[in-house]
C-alpha cells in the first residue's frame, strides 16, 4: 500500500493539531487524488482503489468513535478534511462530506445502540452511505414527499422514487425519508435505514452532470421494499427532525467543499501567473492582475472564516443555523467567482481541459443548488435576523 496512506488511529493523533491534520489530508489529496482527478471527471466514476485509501486514512469516519473503528475526531476535523480534499477534487470532497456530515452524524445522533453498533462499524471500515431526501416534486420544498411507508407486519413497506442522491452508485447503506401519513405533512415523515440488496429496492440511472462528475448522483426506486421497524432512525413521524438538524450541519460541509475549491483555483492561478510571460515579464508583475489576485485571496479568506466559525459553533453546542446558511451562501458564490477569475487569468488556456481550472469552474456551479439553494439560505438568514 502506498506510504501516503495511514490508519485511522494515526489520523486521530494528527488531529490533535488541526493545522497539521489539514496539511496531512492535503498531502494525501495531492499525492493520491490529483493524478486521478481528470480521468475520474472524464469517465464520471470514482476510483474504487481511492475509496479504499480514504477508508484507510480514516477520512470516511472522521467523527466515528474509535470504539467503532473510526478516527474519533470532531465535526471541525470533518470540515478540514472536506476542505483539503476539495482543494484538489471537489468530487472526492463531497463523497467524504456526505459520509461524515450527513450519514454518520444522523446515525450517531438518532441511531439506537444496535444501529450504531452495526452501521457505525460498517461506515468506519467499508461501507459508503447515502442520504435520500430529494424527489422530483420535493426539492426546496423538502417535505413534499410522495414516497410512502405503509405498516406491514413488524416493519414498513416503502414505495416511491428518490432523485439526485449523492453516493448512490457507491453506497451500500441508505438513509431514506418517507411519509407514513401524507395528511400529517412533515409530522408524518420517518427516516429508515435501507441496505443495498433489500428486495424491492433498486439503484437507477446515474445522472450525466456538468460538474463534480466523479461523484455519483443517482435515482433510487422502491417498490414494496419492506424495512423492519428496527431500521427506523429516530422515531416514527420524527423524520423531519432528523432531516432538518442533519442538513444544517451538511451545509457547513458544502461550505467547506466550496472553500477548498476556491483555494484550489487560487493555488493554480498564483502558480500560472508567475510563469506566464507577456510583454517581456510575468503577468503577475502587472498591477491589474495583482488587484484581481488580491480580491480572490480576500474572498477565499473571508469564506474560510465563515466556514470555520460555523463549524466551531456547532462543536461548542452553540446556535449555528444562521452562520451555516451564511457560510453556504457566501462560499458557493465565492467558489464560482474565484474559479471564473482563474479562467480569465489563464486566458485561452483556462478554457481547455488540459488545464485544471475549467473543471473547478464546472464543479463550483452546484454549490448554489444542492443542500439548500441560495434563495432558501437567504430566507433562513432573513427570518433569523428579523426574529
Please enumerate in sequence order all residues whose Cβ is within 8 A of that of 376, keeping only pairs 6 or more positions apart, or say none. Answer: 140
Looking at residue 14, its pLDDT comes to: 42
C-beta of residue 261 within 8 angstroms of C-beta of residue 364: yes
- Per-residue model confidence as pLDDT tens digits over 146-155: 999 999 999 9
- Per-residue model confidence as pLDDT tens digits over 69-103: 999 999 999 999 999 999 999 999 999 999 999 99
Domains and CATH numbers, the chain: 8-128 (1.10.540.10), 130-237 (2.40.110.10), 241-386 (1.20.140.10)
Question: Is-catalytic flag, 275?
Answer: no
pTM: 0.94
C-beta of residue 116 within 8 angstroms of C-beta of residue 96: no
Looking at residue 1, its pLDDT comes to: 38
For residues 185, 141, 372, 85, the Cα torsion angle rounded to the nearest 10 degrees is: 70
- Per-residue model confidence as pLDDT tens digits over 337-349: 999 999 999 999 9
Among candidate residues 32, 135, 323, 371, the one labeled active-site is: 371
Amino acid at each position: 500500500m502506498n506510504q501516503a496512506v495511514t490508519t485511522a488511529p494515526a489520523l486521530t493523533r494528527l488531529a490533535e493539531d488541526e493545522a497539521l491534520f489539514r496539511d496531512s489530508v492535503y498531502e494525501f489529496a495531492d499525492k493520491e487524488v490529483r493524478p486521478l482527478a481528470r480521468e475520474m471527471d472524464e469517465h464520471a466514476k470514482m476510483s474504487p482503489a481511492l475509496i479504499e485509501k480514504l477508508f484507510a486514512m480514516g477520512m470516511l469516519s472522521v467523527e466515528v468513535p474509535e470504539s467503532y473503528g473510526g478516527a474519533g475526531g470532531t465535526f471541525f476535523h470533518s470540515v478540514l478534511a472536506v476542505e483539503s480534499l476539495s482543494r484538489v477534487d471537489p468530487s472526492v470532497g463531497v463523497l467524504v462530506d456526505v459520509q461524515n456530515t450527513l450519514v454518520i452524524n444522523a446515525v450517531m445522533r438518532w441511531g439506537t445502540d444496535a444501529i450504531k453498533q452495526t452501521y457505525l462499524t460498517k461506515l468506519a471500515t467499508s461501507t459508503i452511505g447515502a442520504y435520500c431526501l430529494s424527489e422530483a416534486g420535493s426539492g426546496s420544498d423538502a417535505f413534499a414527499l410522495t414516497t410512502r411507508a405503509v405498516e406491514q407486519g413488524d416493519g414498513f413497506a416503502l414505495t416511491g422514487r428518490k432523485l439526485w442522491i449523492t453516493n448512490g452508485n457507491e453506497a451500500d447503506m441508505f438513509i431514506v425519508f418517507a411519509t407514513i401519513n401524507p395528511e400529517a405533512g412533515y409530522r408524518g415523515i420517518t427516516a429508515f435505514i435501507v441496505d443495498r440488496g433489500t428486495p424491492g429496492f433498486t439503484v437507477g440511472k446515474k445522472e450525466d452532470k456538468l460538474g463534480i462528475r466523479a461523484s455519483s448522483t443517482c435515482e433510487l426506486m422502491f417498490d414494496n421494499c419492506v424495512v423492519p421497524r428496527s431500521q427506523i432512525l429516530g422515531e416514527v413521524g420524527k423524520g423531519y427532525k432528523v432531516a432538518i438538524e442533519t442538513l444544517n450541519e451538511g451545509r457547513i460541509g458544502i461550505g467547506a467543499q466550496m472553500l477548498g475549491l476556491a483555494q484550489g483555483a487560487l493555488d493554480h492561478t498564483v502558480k500560472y501567473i508567475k510563469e506566464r510571460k507577456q510583454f517581456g515579464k510575468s503577468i503577475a508583475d502587472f498591477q491589474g492582475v495583482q488587484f484581481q489576485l488580491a480580491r480572490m485571496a480576500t474572498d477565499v479568506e473571508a469564506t474560510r472564516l465563515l466556514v470555520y466559525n460555523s463549524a466551531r459553533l456547532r462543536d461548542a453546542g452553540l446556535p449555528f443555523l444562521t452562520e451555516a446558511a451564511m457560510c453556504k451562501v457566501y462560499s458557493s458564490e465565492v467558489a464560482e467567482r474565484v474559479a471564473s477569475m482563474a479562467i480569465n487569468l489563464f486566458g485561452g488556456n483556462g478554457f481547455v481541459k488540459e488545464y485544471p481550472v475549467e473543471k473547478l469552474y464546472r464543479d463550483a456551479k452546484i454549490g448554489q443548488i444542492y443542500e439548500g439553494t441560495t434563495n432558501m439560505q437567504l430566507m433562513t438568514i432573513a427570518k433569523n435576523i428579523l426574529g
